Amino acid sequence: MDLSASVAFPTFDNDQLSVVAEVGELVQFETNQVLIKQGQKGFPFYVIKSGSVRIVENRNDTEVLIVNHGPREFTGDVDMLTGRSAVISAIANEPVVAYQLCAGRLRKLLSDRPAVSDMLLDAFQIRRKLLEASDFVGVRIVGHSNTSETSRLREFFYKNHVPHTFYESSSENGQRQLQELHSTDAALPVVHCNGHTVSNPSLPKLAECIGISRNVDGKLFDLVVVGAGPAGLAAAVYATSEGIKTLVIDSVGPGGQAGSSSKIENFIGFPSGISGGELANRGYLQALKFGAQFIAPITVKSIDTQSSGEHHLQLCTGQVARARCVLVASGVTYRQLGVKDCRKFEGAGLYYAATSAEARVCEDSTAVIVGGGNSAGQAAMFLANTSREVKVLIRSDDLCKSMSAYLCERVLKHPKIQVIKNSEVTAIHGERCVEAITFQDHANEESNRMDCEALFCFIGAQPHTAWLPDGVLLDDKGYIRTGAAIPSTHLGKHWNLERSPCDLETTIPGILAAGDVRSGSTKRCGFAVGDGSMAVTCVHRYLASIN
């Protein structure tokens, strides 16, 4: 048995089993009785005392065996923490006696018993990785690989770590899937989730199907964090670990811009680097462990501050979340190229992130990257692993002006990467997806055409602040002013002489800002995490001032 399997399927020793027995309820099951049903929400955690349980995936009325659990082993993976629907079924092979823990009791066990907590968390994470690396099907997506509709769904599943399998609709296997799902004439993409088949679903519809949706209408939280990037996740971890009731809202899922980075090498504690997706997932699970609540894909339409000081967040679903304190960590989005028909190609060969999903589009072909920052450099190095060649277009004459020295050197030395200086894209060509681009070489004023299968855009960013109330002061570029960066003339009636804004507090008391969206912040993952951590100190100060 390799290390991953031994970590994924450990057994409880006598001491650990006695701890479970203290908080669990002893239950019994007959042969072939179902302990967990695929698609079930709020399913329990089981530690087997005697007998054995098979873990299976149900595919078209057929059981596909994943693993068998015996005495002292346990069921479940990361969805024991996320609260989503079960992606598998657990069935008794024979009479079974087991300790049953509901989600609340499991969280208490993780919080109170570090030795058990470490073992379970490691096992949960490795199990999900092994599942995704196997022939597990999970949610089925059938569609055209290079369309914005399909890209939207795949990004959602990727960021939320939902096991899924994609089938190209024009392939033989894709056609077979459409026939099995009785969807040969349906609008693509078609998604099959927990026994339901939906044609071109909305993200909220998918969230409901996989159990991400939560009802928070009218509920009061100490802190509502808007945005689940590095700043938002760090704030959620520190806040919940210190007893602050926290809700995190995101428009797609955990990770933010950093979640799309193929490899982050300058984040402390990871000398060999870590992918943005993996870093985000670890922070997400850590926050869940301490009791943070997450909802996605949800956007906040507005914030209304009541006379009592309570903040009401109007969500796109029509729900209203109530908060004593709000942290705006909504981040930024990459700017568009500004060429004709740019939006037409978004998700159809034009991308603003370089993950494994996008990399498949330009496998063994040409990928073009526009931009000279760290995100562009990380994307170039990642795509060079699978692409035939990578072209990096920059407007300046020196890549190292805007890119970290270590990364710039690697990009310039890589045999499959070519940096084209003094250039910018002037046109994108293609019928249904990107087939070629035209770029202007400003050094010699020449216009050149280049065939490519994918175009990646990393040319700066604009902050997500349009939804904020007018009372929140922005700088001339739309970023949020906080703390000492707020002129005293803008503090107005909201403030009194007894307290000045905290370092991360905005012009509205109790509304904070952290990460890339904050004016004057350094746009790096590590700085965003620092902002999110510091925000919790401000939350404590603010909550103390209103009590």
469 & 329 share domain: yes
Q: Give the per-residue SS3 of 330-399.
A: CCEEECCCCCCCCHHHECCCEECCCCHHHHHHHCCCEEEEECCCHHHHHHHHHHCCCCCEEEEECCCCCH
* Model pLDDT, residue 129: 87
* Model pLDDT, residue 536: 97
296 & 408 share domain: no
Q: Cα angle vertex 440, ends 434, 443, to 5°?
A: 150
75 & 143 share domain: no
Where residue 472 sits, what CATH number does that domain have?
3.50.50.60
Residue 149 has pLDDT above 80, yes or no: yes
* Model pLDDT, residue 2: 47
Q: Number of structural domains, the chain?
A: 4
100 & 159 share domain: no
pTM (predicted TM-score): 0.84
- At 17 the three-state DSSP class reads helix
Question: Amino acid identity of 286?
Answer: Q
Where residue 157 sits, what CATH number does that domain have?
3.40.30.10
542 & 400 share domain: no
In a domain, 213, yes or no: no
Count Cα neighbours of 223 within 13 Å in the Cβ-side half-sphere: 35
In a domain, 212, yes or no: no
Q: Report the alpha-carbon distance of residue 349 to residue 435 in Å, rounded.
A: 8
Domain encompassing residue 10: 3-133
243 & 301 share domain: yes
* Model pLDDT, residue 1: 35
389 & 322 share domain: no
181 & 78 share domain: no
Residue 260 has pLDDT above 80, yes or no: no
In a domain, 214, yes or no: no
Asked if 392 and 412 count as a contact pair (C-beta separation under 8 A), the reply is no
The model's pLDDT over 67-107, given as tens digits with 9 standing for 90+, comes to 999 999 999 988 888 888 999 999 999 999 999 999 888 98
Nearest to 513 by CA among 546, 469, 547: 469
119 & 144 share domain: no
177 & 247 share domain: no
Q: 432, 457, 482 — which closes off a domain?
A: 457
Q: 177, 205, 233 — which closes off a domain?
A: 205
Q: Residue 523, exposed/middle/buried by CB under 10 A (0-12, 13-18, 19+)?
A: middle
Residue 227 has pLDDT above 70, yes or no: yes
In a domain, 210, yes or no: no
In a domain, 338, yes or no: no
DSSP β-ladder status, 246-249 and 293-295:
parallel
Q: 147, 176, 205 — which closes off a domain?
A: 205
In a domain, 53, yes or no: yes
286 & 400 share domain: no
* Model pLDDT, residue 316: 94
In a domain, 535, yes or no: yes
